[in-house]
A and B are shown apart, each in its own frame.
Chain A
Amino acid sequence: MNNRVQKKNKAFDFLKSLCFLFPSLLGVGVFFILPFGVVIYYSMIDGPITKNFVLFENFTKLFQNSAFRLAAKNTLSFSAMAVPLAVVLAVALALMLESRIPMKSQFRTFFLSPMMVPVASVVLVWQVLFNYNGTINELFLFGGGKIDWLQSEYAQIVVLLLFLWKNLGYNMILFMAGLANIPKELLEVADVEGASAAYKFFAIKLRYLSPTVLFVMILSLINSFKVFREVYLLAGAYPYDPLYTLQHFMNNTFGSMDYQKLSAAAVLMALVMVVIIALLFLAEDWFGKDVEG
């Protein structure tokens, strides 16, 4: 085949691939990319009417905003607690279910069951448990020393429990899939050589799980943002300070229609996410090199 024909074929293939991609690309363009461009534009002008280009002024204003700083701090501290716990506990659950215990598949179903519970019931149950007159106080703190959990310094922990309850099952399935991909021979050889369980875990399993670990980290980060849904329904638009997150900030700014502030916050959040995701991808390349393939 001569070069011209090959080139023509390649161009033709490219066109064909675009045809198949077109519906999706069109939608993504119209509903996500285009408007996000506008959001970036909004984040750099001073007002919807004056439209003066101010570059980073909205961002510096944002950094000076005390509500934003509180929100950013809380979001950061919550995710910093939630993500590692979600990974470690899910690995532990997966390892437990991997060992030969009875009722494995039932346990798997039970751990996944939070996925089907409507948010409203979750919120109701959490209220029953953690209210001032709730079950937790009743069970563990007789008489004095009752705490209104959602209005206390432990508020984030209450939400953390909710987050873990909701997401551990999903993460566990991911890790179980990762564990199932480890070549059996490798573990058998380790057994024959008399490797300890700890060695097998750290030297073999964890190594093979590293891509999954990174993915679950990204996923848990996203889900740690999503827990806003429950917090909002539990504590409203202006919760006790430790629960006030970036999502509250954005939601409330949305209510007041301050597009400049909102756009700047959205752009900033997107940027941070892209940086974190890129870092995790780089880490995956770094760790995953020797097990890939």
Chain B
Amino acid sequence: MKKKKHYFGRGAMFVLCAIFAVLFLLPTVLTISNSFMAETEIVSNYGMIFSNTNGGFVSKTVNLKFIPDKVTLEQYISGLMKSPDYLIKYWNSILLVLPIVILQVAIASVAAYSFTRWRGKIRSGIFFFYVILMLMPYQVTLVPNYLVSQWLGIINTRWSIILPGMFAPFSVFLLTKFMRRIPYSLIEAAKVDGAGEWQIFTRVCLPQCRSAIFSIAILVFIDYWNMVEQPLVLLKDADSQPLSVFLSSINAGEIGLAFAMATVYMIPSLLIFLYGEAYLVEGIANSGSVKG
């Protein structure tokens, strides 16, 4: 009797999970599948919402459609081949995000080593400050960011986003937590062998943290790949905007294009999910509590 109940419970849970999963996946699937629809089909399905339609048949209500009548690459071709706009914006995104990811992780790994290796009142105070800073809403740091960019004369350039991004404390926090798990005996042994601090850092600490660094880089990448607020405020020049911002401003007549370009934009994240999910999950799992 008891066993039967158990099975029933598990079945119910499975169904519940499945329903949730469908809801969670819906936007992803919709974006990808609709990217293969012809513009006319898109307009007839969604035209009602985005009133600026260029004639043709428009259904009275929205049709949420997952399977295109005719699979076509039309949107991709017009987005990627006909004008260089999207490719330029894509390149802008890469130019913004890659330096941030690489430099943030690099600077953070050195700082995390310091927080791991030496402890004391002052340093734990600084660490706590980093945690607070990490938790500040973007709107609070926006004004300071803007002021500094003005002083340094880097406003409207990529650097106004890259530089603050480089020093964001998130990686420091997470990497410190990973590094503190390295057995102290390893460091001691290296020290006895006569290694200097820099050598301990590069030869002992970093190799031990390889997967941690990878997972942090993934988290930072996903966060900045979808940034909108920073470029909106700090990059007035439309030409240097990343694709994440440009995608959001696609006008009503080009929804089909928006789906296709969003899909292209999703490719790096999709690859991460396919090949690096274990790292991603590990990174998230370890950001779990504020204490080192």
Name A267's closest neighbour in chain B (CB-CB): B140
Residue B16, interface by CB 8 Å = yes
Residue B130, interface by CB 8 Å = yes
1/0 contact trace for B26-53 toward A, CB 8 Å?
Answer: 1110110000000000000010110000
Q: Is the CB of A116 within 8 A of B143?
A: no
Q: Is the CB of B111 within 8 A of A23?
A: yes
Partner among B27, B135, B167, B233 whose Cβ is within 8 Å of the Cβ of A122: B27
Q: Is the CB of A229 within 8 A of B229?
A: yes
Which residues of chain A have C-beta atoms less than 8 A from B228's C-beta?
119, 229, 232-233
Name B114's closest neighbour in chain A (CB-CB): A20
CA distance A39 to B31 in the complex (A): 41
Residue A107, interface by CB 8 Å = yes
Which residues of chain B have C-beta atoms less than 8 A from A246's C-beta?
139
Partner among B21, B117, B172 whose Cβ is within 8 Å of the Cβ of A24: B172
Given contacts A39-B144, A222-B137, contact A114 B64 (CB under 8 A): no
1/0 contact trace for B142-169 toward A, CB 8 Å?
Answer: 1111111000000000000001101101
Residue B259, interface by CB 8 Å = yes
- From residue A27, how far is it (CB to closest CB) to chain B in Å? 3
1/0 contact trace for B8-25 toward A, CB 8 Å?
Answer: 011001101100110111
1/0 contact trace for A108-148 toward B, CB 8 Å?
Answer: 11111111111111111101110101110110000000000
- From residue B143, how far is it (CB to closest CB) to chain A in Å? 5
Partner among B137, B265, B266 whose Cβ is within 8 Å of the Cβ of A273: B137
Which residues of chain B have C-beta atoms less than 8 A from A127's C-beta?
49
Residue A55, interface by CB 8 Å = no
- From residue B232, how far is it (CB to closest CB) to chain A in Å? 9
Name A169's closest neighbour in chain B (CB-CB): B24
Which residues of chain A have C-beta atoms less than 8 A from B288's C-beta?
174, 177-178, 211-212, 215
Given contacts A38-B147, A96-B16, A121-B262, contact A273 B285 (CB under 8 A): no
Q: Is the CB of A128 within 8 A of B273?
A: no
Residue B251, interface by CB 8 Å = no
Q: Is the CB of A116 within 8 A of B270?
A: yes
Given contacts A120-B247, A134-B62, contact A24 B167 (CB under 8 A): yes
Which residues of chain B have C-beta atoms less than 8 A from A118's C-beta?
31, 226, 244, 247, 262, 265-266
Interface residues on chain A, number (Cβ under 8 Å)? 95
Residue B120, interface by CB 8 Å = yes
CA distance A207 to B287 in the complex (A): 19
Name A165's closest neighbour in chain B (CB-CB): B24
In residues 145-203 of chain A, which contact B (Cβ within 8 Å)? 165, 168-170, 173-174, 176-178
Q: Is the CB of B27 within 8 A of A27?
A: no
Partner among A17, A173, A212, A225 whose Cβ is within 8 Å of the Cβ of B137: A225
Which residues of chain A have C-beta atoms less than 8 A from B141's C-beta?
32, 36
Which residues of chain A have C-beta atoms less than 8 A from B72's C-beta?
none
Which residues of chain B have C-beta atoms less than 8 A from A168's C-beta?
24
Given contacts A32-B167, A96-B17, A128-B46, contact A116 B139 (CB under 8 A): no
Q: Is the CB of A93 within 8 A of B163?
A: no
Residue A49, interface by CB 8 Å = no
Q: Is the CB of B148 within 8 A of A111?
A: no
CA distance A23 to B46 in the complex (A): 51
A-B CB contact pairs (8 Å), 14 listed: A20-B197, A21-B123, A23-B107, A30-B148, A32-B141, A34-B148, A39-B143, A110-B21, A110-B24, A116-B266, A120-B250, A125-B30, A174-B285, A214-B290
**Residues of B in contact with A (beta carbons under 8 Å apart):** 9-10, 13-14, 16-17, 20-21, 23-28, 30-31, 46, 48-49, 60-62, 64, 107-108, 110-111, 113-115, 117-118, 120, 122-123, 126, 130, 132-133, 135-148, 163-164, 166-167, 169, 172, 197, 201, 222, 226, 228-229, 233, 244, 247-248, 250, 255, 258-259, 262, 265-266, 269-270, 272-273, 277, 280-281, 284-291
Top 5 closest pairs, chain A to chain B, by CB: A27-B167, A35-B144, A116-B269, A177-B285, A20-B114
Besides A128-B46, A177-B285, A226-B137, 9 new A-B residue pairs in contact (Cβ under 8 A), listed by A number: A14-B120, A21-B126, A27-B166, A110-B21, A111-B24, A125-B27, A128-B49, A134-B62, A263-B143
